[in-house]
């Protein structure tokens, strides 16, 4: 008898329906998950507009069945997109709603995620002290929740702020601690970010050789995770390093590689930066014919932008 009752309960749970959608709750959640997965793919390629469209569709589905973890996740990811457009007030409103859900549900890691995201806004606004306070709150919550990846993310971001504040010793300590955790957790995306930060730390310290070593390590990790945006950033950082050191041929090589990736991403802002850098170096090297080719590409890009 017990087995029969248990089986019946399972069947009934599978076919619970949402009045708003007139579809089983499970199917609504699956649809929301599919939209979110697609949105994350667009986000990883730098296509933030398409990411927003799909995160909003996922949010709409999750609201139909009051899927609170899903709603919180969608709001958080929408905020990430708006930050990339510089729409900080929009992002703050979204994460405020997400944080209400996280507090009610007692999800400490999600609360910490929000503080980390708000710290990102603080960094962009150059409110470094405020961002550090948020990251310390984030780190404490991650620690309480025994979330090692989150703890490493907070430490890594603290390190990047300390670089900006000129406290290189504290920056190094935090980033090295993050690297140690990422290695133990085999978190390749985290390692890519931390290696990049450590490369930048050595760059500003004037240790070009060590900076290059870590920028190349970051590139390897981003290639491992197939993170196109990260690969683009790594190639740019390496090119900039060679450019500053006067090795223009190596700089040109890496700017061209970055350009190829950014063209694949259709990341207009980065494409323009790459083209300008390439044109500048070709001028220094006296490669006038090749320079003219890239100048034409830049002019065509500008013309396309005006038509839009």
Domain boundaries, position 183? 107-216
Tens of pLDDT, residue by residue, the chain (308 residues): 344 333 333 333 433 444 455 578 999 999 999 999 999 999 988 889 999 999 999 999 999 999 999 999 999 999 999 999 999 999 999 999 999 999 999 999 999 999 999 999 999 999 999 999 999 999 999 999 999 999 999 999 999 999 999 999 999 999 999 999 999 999 999 999 999 999 999 999 999 999 999 999 999 999 999 999 999 999 999 999 999 999 999 999 999 999 999 999 888 999 999 999 999 999 999 999 999 999 999 999 988 764 44
* pLDDT attached to residue 131: 97
Look up residue 250 and give its two tokens.
Answer: 């190596």
Look up residue 32 and give its two tokens.
Answer: 């929301």
CATH of the domain at 89: 1.25.40.10
Q: 34-38 long-range contacts, Cβ below 8 Å, gap at least 24?
A: 35/61, 36/70, 36/73, 36/74, 36/77
Torsion of CA 58, 192, 141, 159, to 10 degrees: -130
Tell me if 149 is assigned to some domain: yes
Tell me if 240 is assigned to some domain: no
Tell me if 6 is assigned to some domain: no
Does residue 124 sit in the same domain as residue 150?
yes
For 46, how many CA atoms within 13 A lie in the half-sphere containing its CB? 18
Structurally, the chain folds into a number of domains equal to 3
Tell me if 137 is assigned to some domain: yes
Write down the pTM of the prediction.
0.86
């Amino acid at each position: 008898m017990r087995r029969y009752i248990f089986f019946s309960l399972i069947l009934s749970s599978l076919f619970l329906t949402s009045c708003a959608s007139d579809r089983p709750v499970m199917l609504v959640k699956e649809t929301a998950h599919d939209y979110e997965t697609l949105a994350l793919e667009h986000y990883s390629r730098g296509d933030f507009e398409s990411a927003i469209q799909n995160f909003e569709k996922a949010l709409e589905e999750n609201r139909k069945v009051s899927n609170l973890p899903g709603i919180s996740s969608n709001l958080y990811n929408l905020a990430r997109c708006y930050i990339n457009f510089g729409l900080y007030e929009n992002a703050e409103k979204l994460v405020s709603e997400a944080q209400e859900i996280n507090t009610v549900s007692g999800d400490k890691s999600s609360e910490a995620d929000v503080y980390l995201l708000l710290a990102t806004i603080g960094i962009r606004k150059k409110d470094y002290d405020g961002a550090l306070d948020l990251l310390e709150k984030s780190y404490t919550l991650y620690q309480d929740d025994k979330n090692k990846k989150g703890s490493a993310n907070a430490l890594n971001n603290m390190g990047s702020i300390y670089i900006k504040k000129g406290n290189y010793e504290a920056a190094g300590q935090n980033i090295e601690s993050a690297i140690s955790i990422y290695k133990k957790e085999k978190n390749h995306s985290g390692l890519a970010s931390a290696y990049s930060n450590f490369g930048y730390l050595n760059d500003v310290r004037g240790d070009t050789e060590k900076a290059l070593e870590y920028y190349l390590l970051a590139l390897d990790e981003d290639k491992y995770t197939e993170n196109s945006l990260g690969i683009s950033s790594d190639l740019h950082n390496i090119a900039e390093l060679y450019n500053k050191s006067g090795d223009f041929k190596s700089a040109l090589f890496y700017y061209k590689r970055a350009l190829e990736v950014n063209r694949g991403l259709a990341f207009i802002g980065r494409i323009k930066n790459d083209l300008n850098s390439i044109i500048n170096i070709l001028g220094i090297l006296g490669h006038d014919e090749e320079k003219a080719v890239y100048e034409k590409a830049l002019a065509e890009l500008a013309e396309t932008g005006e038509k839009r």
